[in-house]
Each structure stands twice: as structure tokens, then as C-alpha cells.
Copies of this chain bind each other. A is one copy, B any other.
Amino acid sequence: MMASTIENLYSRSTAAMKHSFIRQILGLTKGVPGMISFAGGLPSPESFPKKLLSELFFEVIREEGDEVLQYGASDGDKVFKDVLKDFEEVPYLSDDEMMITVGSTNAIYYFTRTLVDPGDVIICEAPGFPGSIAAMEACGARMVGVEMDELGMIPQLLRETIQEQLDKGRRVKFIYVIPEFQNPTGKTMDLNRRREIVEIAKEFDLPILEDQPYRELRFSGERIITLWELARTQYDDPRLVTIAKSFSKILGPGLRLGFAAGPPEIIAPMVKWAQKVTVSPDCATQRVAARFIQRGLMRKHIEGIIDLYRPRRDAMLEALETYMPEGATWTRPEGGMFIWVSFKNAIDTDELFRRAIEKKVAFIPGSNFYPQGAERKNELRLNFSYCSIEMIKEGIRRLAELAKQAGGHQCL
């Protein structure tokens, strides 16, 4: 059998898959001595509760091995669900409104599979999170981005974009948002903006997928009600929003644990997809996370992560202030893992990236966060969770130096 024969057998969605530039970038920067990388979206290993997790795995498998090593429910472990409902302060939630997933990308994939046929439209933030966009495009979705201001998607543009798509005769399936410490911009929707987005979704009878991987990592400002809870409690519409959350940023992404909460009409088919794709999440891991929460360890642990990341964010903001040339602006996120930098004078960040890796500092050029054809070239994403404060200072100094050169060069 020839390689070409196999490639001729590929499904249309497989044949259409694009190469991930971000993976290439991460490949270029990984393991290079002296490289300061703000490119990845990695939590700091210092945030991993290694000692506690190792002890809990030991206990859980020793004590509950007969159960947690056996096949588990595709919608997730009942014990873990109950613990999670308490932790999330939604004890009223019924079991068919929640499922545990193999990380939150897994939930996003099942949600998309549940609703999207090839050619269907998903409305998303521009710039948006490429991991989700790739999962959605793999289902054949046409991603249509809505421009953001400092508070996220601009409501008037959201309304116009949906209407435009409907006028073209396209099927719009849902609105996808990361309302807090958004990836890549670090922006957060305020309460009023959340209301506006929920109202527009209601107006068009369109479900919202609310992706909240960073919600627990708030360093400053007030906690804001989720769109999911807002729709349930203040708009009396528990079917409108499905929320996805992750344990990747609070326990560790190697564990592959997340969950989704939404209406039974969405969760039930998502569970049917899970039956066919993974059968269930890892059962031991679910009970370990359950015990971690039950023992009251989670809140304190999250505070520790915040104490680790807040000074890193502050150090990066300060270094940007100190070193960046005039014309550069950046977001001031209240939490999460990312800062978004924009250059007024149209510095090409794809070009800047090539020079930056020579000087051993890495970031992700902004063009990677836009749907194809809508790329902007004068922006970049910085991660502040992974590097130490010293590395952050030095890395931003190097980067600012290159930006000055690039800006100067382009002024000639």
C-alpha cells in the first residue's frame, strides 16, 4: 500500500486540517539554552500540588481501586460531580446538567460536535483562542470573528455579524466567548457587557459556549457572575449558556480534567459523543480531585497560585512600562496568564518573532489568533505564568529592544 493511496483515503475534514504555526513556534523555542519563552500557555510547575496529589492517588487507588480502576460513567463520576457542585456553589444543579471531561478542550469538542455540521457558523472573539478554533474547524465550522474593545466582543458588532451571517443564508450555531482573562488578550467582560452578550444571544435564540479556564486565577478586582449563572438566575433561561471549566490551570494540565455544565438537551448528546470518543475521563483522577476539594485544600492551593502569578504579572507590566517604545500599548489583565501587546506603528510581529528567537526571547505573533483572512500583524501575546520574575524582566528588555529597532527600521 502506497503513502499516496492512504492520503487519497483521508476524510475531507482530515485533508483540510491546517498546520499549527503555534506548535511550530513552541517546537523552535523548547529546550533552547538561554531561551526566555513567553510563548506557551503553560502553568508554572511551581503551582503543581505534587505532594498532595501523590498522596491522594496513593490513597484513592488503595482504598477505592476496585471502583476507580473499573469502567466509569461517560458523564463522569457521581461522587466527583457532587463535590464539584458544592465547590462551584451550584448545589441545585442536577446530574444531567453536568459532565466531566478529559480537559476542557474535550468539552468544547463535544459541544461543537453536538451542534455543528460542515459550513455552520460559530461566532467567536477576534483575536481568539487557537486551540478552540482548531477543534471547531475540525468539525467543519466556519469561524466568524467579532472585534473586541477593552471589555471583549463589541455588542453592536456582534449583533451586526450574526445578522450578516443569517442574511447570507448561513446557519449560525452558537457564540463562543472566554469572558475572563481571555486567551490571548487577558481582557475581562464587565457585568454590563455580559448582560449585553446574553441579551443578544436571547434575541437571536443562539446558545452561548462560555469557556472559563482561568476564572479561579483572579489577582485583583471583583469576581463577576458568569454568563451561565446570569442567564439562569437573572434571565430565567437555564438553556442559553453552557459553561466549560478546567483543572489544568489549578491542579495541572497533565491530569486532563475539566467539566461542562449546561442544559440536559446539550449535555446528553455531549455524553453520547464521550461514549464513542473516550468512554469516560480517568476515574482515579476524578476521585483524587474530589478528595482534594473535600479536604478543603483547593481554595488555599488556588491562593498560592495567585500569590505566585500576581507578582509575575506585575513584573511584566512594570517591565513593559520601563522598556517598551512609545506607540506600544498593552492590556492590564486582572488575572489569568496572558498580556496582549499592540504596536501603533504597524510593526510586523511575524517578522519580529524571527528576530526575537535569535535573541532568545519568544512570544506568539498576534496573527495566529485571528480567523484566516482576518489576521492583524501588529500584535503579540505574552505569557507571564511560566517564567520567573528575573526572566520576565530580562525577556521584556530584550523584546522591547527589538521592537525599538523594528519600529525605527520601518520609519526610515
Enumerate chain A interface residues (CB-CB to B < 8 A): 1-3, 5-7, 9-14, 17, 20, 23, 40, 42-43, 45, 48, 50-51, 53-55, 57-62, 65-72, 102-103, 105-106, 109, 113-117, 120, 131, 134-135, 138-139, 173-174, 202, 205, 207, 237, 239-240, 248, 251-256, 263, 265-266, 269, 272-273, 275-285
Task: Give chain B residues whose Cβ lies under 8 Å from the Cβ of A65.
Answer: 45, 48, 50, 53-54, 252
Q: Are B276 and A135 in contact (CB under 8 A)?
A: yes
With A and B bound together, what is the CA distance between A343 and B331 in angstroms? 72
Q: Given A6-B263, A277-B106, are A69 and B57 neighbors across the interface (CB < 8 Å)?
A: no
Is the beta-carbon distance between A281 and B263 smaller than 8 angstroms? Answer: no
Establish whether residues A114 and B54, one from each chain, have CB atoms under 8 Å apart when the complex forms.
no
Q: List, in ascending order, chain B residues with CB within 8 A of A11's CB.
A: 113-117, 120, 139
Given contacts A1-B205, A17-B269, contact A62 B66 (CB under 8 A): no
CB within 8 Å for A277 and B277 given contacts A42-B70, A72-B254: yes
Q: Which of A13, A51, A72 has the most CB of B within 10 A?
A: A13
* Residues of chain B within 8 A of A50, CB atoms compared: 61-62, 65-66, 69
The answer to whether B70 and A254 have CB atoms under 8 Å apart is: yes
**Residue from B54, B255, B266 in contact with A58 in the complex, judged by beta carbons closer than 8 Å:** B54
**Interface pairs (5), CB distance under 8 Å:** A7-B265, A57-B284, A58-B58, A105-B278, A109-B276
Beyond known contacts A14-B269, A71-B248: 17 more, CB 8 A cutoff? A1-B207, A3-B263, A10-B114, A11-B117, A13-B113, A42-B70, A45-B70, A53-B65, A54-B58, A58-B58, A68-B254, A69-B255, A103-B279, A106-B277, A255-B284, A256-B278, A282-B285
A interface SS class: helix
Q: How far is the CA of A7 from the CA of B265 in the complex (A)?
A: 7
Q: Once bound together, how far apart are the Cα atoms of A6 and B134, in whole Å?
A: 23
Chain B contacts for A42, CB-based, 8 A: 70-71
Q: Is the CB of B277 within 8 A of A69?
A: no
Please, which residues of chain B bring their CB within 8 A of the CB of A2?
239
Contacts of A285 in B (CB 8 A): 282, 284
Q: Are A279 and B266 in contact (CB under 8 A)?
A: no
Q: Which residues of B contact A116 (CB under 8 A)?
A: 11
Contacts of A115 in B (CB 8 A): 9-11, 14
Shortest Cβ distance from residue A166 to the other chain B in the assembled complex, whole angstroms: 14
B207→A239 contact, CB < 8 A = no
> Quick check: B62 and A51 within 8 Å, CB to CB?
yes
Q: How far is the CA of A61 from the CA of B288 in the complex (A)?
A: 13
